[in-house]
Structure 1
């Protein structure tokens, strides 16, 4: 609440963004909000990154589209009904649309985003930007202490 920022992102510790992620999402969100006042967040396409941790190094095995089937425009509940189509790290929120709502969700829970996002969509629109600017990392080996 004390932050002077107007926007908020949640970053999973093993996910990553393209260098232009923040500037691109901010620019598009500002444009969209000038036309659609109910849009208070934006999410971009995401690539799934399959990787292993070996000898204190991360080795990327493959990168593939995660949610590139999502079209530009507002997200519908149907999109998230069956699958985690929108990773936490792909979203940027208008801070005012989140700040009161977030207090009713447990941020420290590994499953925080799912109930929060459903609650958020019930009160706000989220716009999809069909550009792959976020990377959803999955560790393929489970012997690493910080794996998914």
Structure 2
């Protein structure tokens, strides 16, 4: 599993352009997965004194649909706790020795918080209710 972006981390600006990154899943030869889900989570950011955050979460995550070439909303959980793997559903197959690359982009909204918190990318086998692995992507919003 790997996550790649320009500069090795997300460096966002409130109200600025989205930054793209890729998530690569490489399966070994021991097992095929029927449903592997890529899940994203980061902790809450407080912001700076005088900020007037908007009513939303402050970030927009999108996934590129390879079939249509259209960016579609993706789930980004913002919380300071862990969501149990048994609460996740869905996912797509990943055959033995298969490699899958997914493209995402994230942006910070104009009224969202600033600060640093890694984006945790988890790979969840929803059939077995377990995390197969996870990786942290460094992130800062100014």
Shorter-chain TM-score tier:
under 0.3
Normalising to structure 1: TM-score of the pair?
0.25
Structure with the higher fraction of residues in helix conformation = 1
Structure with the higher fraction of residues in strand conformation = 2
